Amino acid sequence: MTTAAARKFTLTINGSARAVEAEPDMPLLWALRDLLGLKGTKYSCGISVCGSCTVQLDGAPVRSCVVTVAGAVGREIRTIEGLGGEHPVQRAWLELQVPQCGYCQSGQIMQAVALLERNPSPTRDEVRAGMNGNLCRCGTYPRIEAAVLRAAELLRGSKEGEA
């Protein structure tokens, strides 16, 4: 198998231009992790079925294992690092102790952020549909669902749901 020659690309990641030298068909996941040191995005299946590598591309959740570096040029990439640790979704995740092993959580969070940006007041069924396809081997789906609903409350500035 032959591969394309490495080229220089500029990617916009978390609001900053980042230069990277990569083959055009390199998965964005590898550029983020191996070339740019952004280790929050995780590798799991490599075929776009688990969601662990979810990032946002122009605000939409995508699986970075199947998006190429060349395909990400000129688009806004947001990773878990771009949320800064204080996003309401991250706060809800901690408040409700969502992670068990934690491996899938950055992808789950990035999917949840995109969902809430599209729909700030989702129903339980809309959360289930919006998070569908992000797999959790530990089975923390009820906590994930509760945290997305809690994050929606936090984003709306509501105090509902506090015990």
What one-letter code names the amino acid at 3? T
pLDDT in tens, 15-43: 999 999 999 999 999 999 999 999 999 99
pLDDT at residue 3 greater than cutoff 80: no
What one-letter code names the amino acid at 134? N
Any idea which of 41-45, 69-73, 129-133, 154-158 has the lowest mean pLDDT?
A: 154-158
Domains and CATH numbers, the chain: 7-80 (3.10.20.30), 85-156 (1.10.150.120)
Span 82-93, average pLDDT: 96
Closest CA to 148 of 126, 162, 163: 126
Between helices 124-131 and 141-156, what is the axis angle to 10°? 120
- Yes or no: say if 144 and 108 are a contact pair by the CB < 8 Å rule: yes
pTM of the model: 0.91
pLDDT of 158: 52
